[in-house]
């Protein structure tokens, strides 16, 4: 019992350390979708003009429903619930990795080195997929990954029903990552039953998955192709040499680990690493077929190269375990020599990525960022049905640091070029709406009063957020050193 309490406390400390290194930034990047969806479920009066830019993408996930239900039951503010959820997701993920490490490494040094290395590398990019190991905000992918890794443990322990339930949870939390998890666990299960002559192959049971729906072969719209063209990770020809190195190297690393484990008499590690290597090759072949076949372009939103996320997690945990056993052992100075510089490098990289905000954006703490100050004023001083227009590139402007107006101001906005483009790629029916709004706001930096009034006539926007001190001829009730919020009079 004392050992279990000690292990749990150590996992809590490692999780807290991982988040302190990585930072916490709610409302950035994909949280434009997730946080907006949660707010809309709690208050349907929000986002009357643009709710489709997050509700359609969230139809296949229970994440926003789960978070909204939690807030209603606990009466805990959304911002606090998100921060708590981020910590619990990190703890759950590292706990699942620790359980995997325990099956593969007999020594505590091996078990905890795998967990510690993954924690230090939370913010490491995954090749050219535009993913991190663990995002800087609460993402359903983190929860799905934790469920998948727990299912991996269940498969190794031959608990098929539990594994199936966990994988189902992963699918309904994040369908794409859940599908990758199911694929890997099926391979892992088959690999564990090959030695049993009476075992039936599981492949025929998957035959139904080969029946392709007709919409796959429908011609996509020009607007959808325009949105797709902005996503470099969907085009293998745009991947750099070092990104391809990040695709190929894990296969050889995992294969070498599997061979070592077989010679060392470690069946669980051999099975995990060997299946991960085969999984990587199989998924890469599938991704190449999808991404290089013009007639299958409608399958591109499945983002098949993102299988690498699961491969990287397993590679880091197993690799870290071997480093712990062979090099670190019980030498404290060796642990510090590995983890301190690595964590410092990751910390500095995150500060360079989000220089305009606090490293940990705590709930209720006023931000020093002028954009976020403007968003907070909008949230408190404008009606819930207000409709805003901003520079389509505002999330990439210096000092804005990729924060979503929609998620943080809790108001409708015209489509942007950064996040809504990815949504239009995922949901083809939104692409024409996205394209129309993006084209209408083209040349934003040269807009005058007449241009903003044109947006009002065309789309019904009644507020704008602009850089600088405002727009001649418009009333701007809020200004700070960088941003002004102006009203378009009817």
Reduced 3-state DSSP string for the chain:
CHHHHHHHHHHHHHHHHHHHHHCECCCECCHHHHHHHHHHHHCCCCCCCCCHHHHCHHHHCCHHHHHHHHHHHHCCCHHHHHHHHHHHHHHHHHHHHHHHHHHHCCCHHHHHHHHHHHHHCCCCECCCCCCECCCCCCCHHHHHHHHHHHHHHHHHCCCHHHHHHHHHHHHHHCHHHHHHHHHHHHHHHHHHHCCCCCCCCCHHHHHHHHCCCHHHHCCCCHHHHHHHHCCHHHCHHHCCHHHHHHHHHHHHHHHHHHHHHHHCCCHHHHHHHHHHHHHHHHHHHHHHHHHHCHHHHHHHHHCHHHHHHHHHHHHHHHHHHHHHHHHHCCCHHHHHHHHHHHHHHHHHHHHHHCCCCCCECCCCCCCCCHHHHHHHHHHHHCCCCCEEEECCCHHHCCCCCCECHHHHHCCEECCCCCHHHHHHHHCHHHHHHHHHHHHHCCCHHHCCHHHHHHHHHHHCCCEEEEECCCCCCCEEEEECCCEEEEECCC
pLDDT at position 201 over 70: no
Whether the pLDDT of residue 199 is over 50: the answer is no
User: What's the confidence (pLDDT) of residue 218?
Assistant: 60
pLDDT of 224-241, one tens digit each? 999 999 888 889 989 999
With a cut of 50, say whether residue 195 has pLDDT above it. Answer: no
pLDDT confidence of residue 217: 52
Provide the pLDDT confidence category of residue 203 given band limits of 50, 70 and 90. very low
pLDDT tens-digit map of 230-280: 888 889 989 999 999 999 999 999 999 999 999 999 999 999 999 999 999
pLDDT at 221: 86
pLDDT in tens, 103-152: 999 999 999 999 999 999 999 999 999 999 999 999 999 999 999 999 99
Query: pLDDT tens digits for 403-460?
Result: 999 999 999 999 999 999 999 999 899 999 999 999 999 999 999 999 999 999 999 9
User: Band of the pLDDT at 296, cuts 50, 70, 90?
Assistant: confident
Q: Is the pLDDT of residue 193 over 80?
A: no
Number of other residues whose CB lies within 10 A of the CB of residue 211: 6
Q: What share of the chain has pLDDT > 90, as a percent? A: 85
Residue 295 confidence (pLDDT) = 85
Distance of CA 121 to the CA centre of its chain: 15
Is residue 202 pLDDT above 70, yes or no?
no
Mean pLDDT of the chain: 92
Residue 447 to residue 337: CA distance in whole angstroms = 54
Residue 7 has pLDDT above 70, yes or no: yes
pLDDT-based confidence at residue 194 (cuts at 50, 70, 90): low
Confidence class for position 168, pLDDT limits 50, 70, 90: very high
CA 24 to the chain's CA centroid:
13
- Cβ-in-10-Å burial (0-12, 13-18, 19+) of 367 comes to middle
Nearest to 417 by CA among 392, 447, 389, 444: 392
Each residue of 300-353: pLDDT tens digit?
888 999 999 999 999 999 999 999 999 999 999 999 999 999 999 999 999 999
Distance CA 469, CA 482 (A): 7
Q: What percent of the chain has pLDDT over 70?
A: 94
Tokens 């954006």: give the residue: 361
The pLDDT of residue 53 is above 70: yes
Confidence at residue 219, expressed as pLDDT on a 0 to 100 scale: 63
Q: What angle do CA 48, 49, 50 make, to 5 degrees?
A: 105
Residue (of 325, 314, 326, 316) closest to 273 by Cα position: 314
Residue 22 has a pLDDT of 96
Angle, CA 212 vertex, CA 215 and CA 126 arms, to 5° = 90
Enter the pTM of the model: 0.93
Which residue pairs, CB below 8 angstroms and at least 24 apart, start in 212-218? 215/298, 216/296, 216/298, 216/299, 217/295, 217/298, 218/298
Q: What is the pLDDT of residue 93?
A: 98
Residue 196: pLDDT band (50, 70, 90) is low
pLDDT value of position 216: 53
Q: Are 349 and 154 in contact (CB under 8 A)?
A: no
> Which two three-digit tokens encode residue 43?
């208050």
- According to the model, what pLDDT value does residue 197 have? 45
């Amino acid at each position: 019992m004392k050992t279990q309490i000690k292990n749990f406390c150590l996992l809590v400390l490692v999780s807290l350390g991982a988040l302190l290194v990585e930072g916490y930034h709610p409302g950035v990047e994909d949280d434009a979708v997730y946080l907006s969806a949660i707010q809309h479920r709690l208050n349907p009066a929000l986002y009357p003009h643009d709710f489709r830019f997050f509700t359609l993408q969230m139809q296949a996930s229970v994440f926003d429903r789960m978070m909204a239900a939690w807030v209603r039951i606990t009466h805990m503010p959304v911002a606090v619930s998100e921060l708590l959820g981020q910590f619990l997701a990190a703890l759950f993920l590292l706990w699942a990795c620790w359980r995997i490490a325990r099956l593969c490494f007999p020594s505590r040094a091996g078990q905890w080195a795998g967990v510690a290395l993954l924690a230090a590398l939370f913010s490491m990019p995954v090749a050219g997929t535009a993913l991190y190991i663990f995002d800087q905000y609460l993402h359903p992918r983190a929860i799905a990954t934790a469920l998948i890794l727990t299912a991996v443990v269940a498969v190794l322990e031959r608990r098929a029903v539990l594994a199936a339930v966990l994988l189902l949870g992963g699918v309904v939390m994040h369908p794409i990552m859940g599908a990758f998890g199911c694929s890997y666990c099926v391979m892992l299960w088959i690999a564990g039953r090959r030695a049993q002559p009476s075992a039936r192959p599981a492949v025929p049971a998957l035959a139904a998955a080969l029946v392709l729906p007709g919409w796959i072969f429908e011609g996509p719209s020009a607007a959808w192709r325009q949105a797709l063209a902005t996503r470099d990770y969907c085009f293998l020809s745009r991947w750099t040499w070092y990104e391809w190195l990040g695709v190929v190297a894990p296969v050889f690393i995992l294969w070498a680990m599997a061979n070592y484990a077989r010679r060392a008499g470690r069946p669980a590690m051999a099975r995990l690493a060997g299946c991960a290597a085969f999984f990587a090759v199989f998924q890469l072949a599938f991704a190449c077929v999808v991404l290089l076949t013009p007639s299958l372009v409608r399958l591109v939103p499945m983002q098949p190269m993102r299988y690498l996320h699961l491969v990287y997690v397993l590679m880091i945990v197993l690799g870290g375990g071997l480093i712990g056993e062979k090099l670190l052992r019980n030498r404290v100075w060796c642990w510090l020599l590995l983890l301190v510089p690595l964590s410092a490098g990751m910390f500095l990289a995150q500060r360079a990525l989000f220089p305009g905000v606090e490293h940990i954006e705590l709930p209720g703490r006023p931000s020093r960022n002028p954009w976020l100050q403007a968003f907070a004023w909008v949230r408190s001083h404008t009606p819930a049905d207000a409709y805003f227009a901003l520079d389509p590139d505002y999330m990439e402007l210096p000092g804005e640091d990729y924060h979503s107006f929609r998620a943080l101001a809790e108001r409708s906005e015209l489509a942007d070029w950064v996040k809504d483009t990815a949504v239009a790629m995922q949901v083809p029916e939104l692409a024409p709406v996205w394209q129309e709004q993006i084209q209408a706001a083209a040349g934003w930096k040269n807009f005058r009063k007449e241009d903003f009034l044109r947006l009002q006539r065309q789309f019904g926007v009644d507020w704008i957020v602009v850089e600088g001190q405002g727009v001649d001829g418009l009333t701007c009730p809020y200004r700070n050193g960088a941003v002004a919020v102006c009203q378009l009079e009817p």
